[in-house]
Structures are given as C-alpha cells and as structure tokens.
Structure 1
Amino acid sequence: MVVVGMALLVVFQENLVYAPGTKFYPITPAHLSLKYEDVWLRSSDGVRLHAWFIKLCPDCPGPTILFFQANAGNIAHRLGMVSMMMQRLQCSVFMLSYRGYGASDGYPSQHGITIDAQAALDHLYQRIDIDTSRIVVFGRCLGGAVGAVLTKNNPDKVAALILEGTFTSIPDMVGVIGLPFPKWIFGGSGSNAPGIFNSLVRSPWSTIDIVGEILRRQGGSLASRPFEVKSVGPSHDLKLYLLFLEVAVIESSL
C-alpha cells in the first residue's frame, strides 16, 4: 500500500501543491470600490496571463506591491486583504494570476510560475505611472516561495521581499500536512534523512535555500513573521527568520 501510495503521490503531486479551484472571479476590485486595470501579459513561453493593477490614486507616490497569492483559490479571494493593505500602507498593488489560476491560461508548475512572476515584474518595470525603485514583493504561503525566487533573480529590481506563512520547502511540508509516509523518504531541510524521493518532486520550492542565497550573496531585504495559515505552521516562518538572524550575525562579524 505504501508503494502504491507513493506512486500516486508522485503522479498527482501537482494536485497537492496547486489548487486553483474555479476559474471564475466571484468579485472584482470594483466591488470594493477599488479602481483597477485588467492587465494581460505573455510569459516567455507564450502563456497568456491575467493580472489586476490596483492603483491607490493617479498621482500617489507610494510603493507598488507585487502580490503573489497562496496555492489555493484565485486573486479575487485576496481582495479583502489587498484593500486593507492599500489603506494601511498607502500603496498600489499588482495581483498576478499564475498560469492555470483565474483567467490565466496554462497549467501550474514551478518553472511556469517562476517565469510568470518574471513577466509581471518586467511589466511593472515598463510602466511610467509607478516608481520602479519602490517595487516590494509580497508572497503568502506558495507566493512567498515564488517571490523569493523572483527576488533572487532580480536583486536590483526588488526593493524588499516580504514573506508571510511561507514554507521552507515542499518536502518539508510532508510532516506538516500529515501524509502517512516515513519522513526519511523525503528528508527535508535540517534532516539527515536521505530523502530518496526528493529527486521526483517536480515543484520542490526550496524557499529556505533561496532565502539563504539572497541574504548571503545579494543583501536582499527580508521581513518574515510567524503567521499560521491552513497548510503551514509558524515553525516554517521561524526557520526562515532564524536563518535571517544567523546571516545577520555572520555579516556583522566580518
């Protein structure tokens, strides 16, 4: 049974990592009296992507937040949070629908979503109605993993990276969500286990490694706070925060 279960897990792993649900947007920013622009992008592999650009006001000088959602639902389900964010931070927000999510075409994968995020950042950098030196990447849960990769790849274009409820890696999530497989099968960060199936994980999203690289090599800015969401406990945020402290201590001693 364990062998069959592992085989099914490998075959259908994307269904566990990505849960876009309905393609329909139950509400739009207009329902919350937010002025917005429908934006259509093309990723580098030709996939058509949808996004909302919600401007605080035409002449507002504040930052622009590039918002990456969690793995379930679509961007419409995050509008309440975004509205609050805009009011409190006086910022504009660009909300991307990953491929396979919302009105975007395609099917989600780590490689695909990574280049989707790049398309969103490239679009923002071409706009003349924002301050491109004040682009802040915000990611929640899966979105934090997406944002971390984007920040690593674009250290000169991202002013800050904010992670909320972000996992350290997908293999590390096995213990959190309670799958009935021995932990040694997957290993994970901080584990001496061989992780014999890790090479079969198509979307590993190793955030802890990416964040470590950002902090050590590129001086990226990280603000991560423990915040429990449905799938990830605060221990994952704590690991990322402790990594930040470790790097800060190392750098201060140089």
Structure 2
Amino acid sequence: MENKVEDLKIYGSGSSSGGKYNKIRIMGEGKINGDIECKDFKINGEGTVDGNLNAANNVSIMGEGMLDGNIDCTDFKVNGEGGVDGNLKAEGKVTIRGEADVKGNLKVQKVKVQGELEVNGELVADEAKITGNIRTGGDCNAEIFTVEGGLTIDGLLNADIVKINLYWPCKVHEIGGSEITVKKSGKLSFLGLKLIVMPGEQNELTADIIEGDSVYLENTTAKIVRGTDVTIGSGCKIEQVEYKNSFKQDEKSEIIDTKKI
C-alpha cells in the first residue's frame, strides 16, 4: 500500500526539514531546510527555503520569500518580494506584482511584471509584458516583448515583436526582431498610481545595434539601425541607418550617415 503524502503547514514561527509533501503552507514566518517536492507551495508572510523546490502546480509568495536553490513549477507568483538564488523554470506563467530577483536563468511561457524584475542570467519566454522595470545580465529571447517603463539588458534582446514605451532610461546592447517600435511616453499608470516621467533626454533608449524588418524609433541613441522599412522619429541620434525598402526621418533627429542596401 502506498504511503499517503502529508501536507506541511507552518503557522506563526517555525521550521521544518525538506522532503516530499502534498501542499506546503507557511503562514507567518517559517524556514524549510533541504530540497522540497510538492504539489503546491505558498508563503503568506515571510518564508525561506534552503534548497531546491519542485512544485507540480503553483508557487505563490504573498509577502516575502527567499528561495536558495532552483525552482521548477507550473506557475510562479509574487505579491510583494521574491528572491531565487538559482534558476527559475515555469511551464506556465510567472506573475510579479512587486519585486523579484532571479540569480540564474528564467525560462517560462509567459511573464507579466508590474513592478521590477531582475534576472542575472538569460530570460527565455514566449511572451514578456513588463510594466515597470526589467534588468537582465544575459540575453532576452521572446516571441512578444513589451515594456512600459525601463529596461537594462546586457546582452541581446531578440523577439519577433518588440514594443517599448519609454518612461525611464533604457539600455540594451543589441535588438533584433521583425517589428520593433520605440516610443516616448507621457504618464505611466502603474499599480493605480500616476508616475511623473523623468525630464528631457533621460527617457531614451541607448543601443549599439537595432535590426528588424519594420523599425520605428523615437528618443533613441544608436550606432547602427538596420531594416527593411525604417522610420526615425523625433529625439533620435543615430550614427548610421541602413535600409532596404523605405526610409523616413523626423527633422528633429540627427543621423550621420544613411545608406540603402
């Protein structure tokens, strides 16, 4: 006869060892020492896991959660603050309302952020929707990548569709995609608040190379912009534009060299 897998519940303040469980609940302040395998994992308060976490279904943090290993789950959700010292892999959706820090790589079908997300490694997703700020230490790969706020990507941003609405400074080494749109914006409605945009030239995108089929840019400083159809809107400083089909330039932008290829 197969042994029944028990639930693990920590109420108030307490600790437990790792192992295999059904559902894990930390309500208050709790710590788990060792690797965990479970169906569902939830922190409501403050929780720490010193080990890897494998959840068949959901991982939910409401408050503050620090996970000192790799996470493998279906859905991962943070309402507050969450930290992952290893890699985070989610077959479904990662939802962040607040702050999240992933020391390794993040691989997920869809990621939605209302707040701030930092990934020290690379980000791989079918769809990434960021309202706030995102930073990655490696490449960022997605089918659809949209940002309303700011971004810092040390590697390559590669997506079929890239849409960036500038509210804070944005910096990326290289952008590649089919449809690339970068626009300056006025006010950002974020978590019910209206945030005032930083003045002047601070709200701009800085990149070395931007390459796509259809490219539209505002408030962008770049060394090379290359595409089939390229439109350079207002507030841009581009060293070289290379285009195959069509090219348009706003009179308020500066371009050193333009070449049809």
Report if TM-score (shorter chain) is over 0.5. Answer: no
Q: Which is helix-richer, 1 or 2?
A: 1
> Greater relative contact order: 1 or 2 (C-alpha under 8 angstroms, separation 6 or more)?
1
Structure with the greater alpha carbon radius of gyration: 2
TM-score, normalised on structure 2?
A: 0.27
TM-score, normalised on structure 1?
A: 0.27
Q: Which is strand-richer, 1 or 2?
A: 2
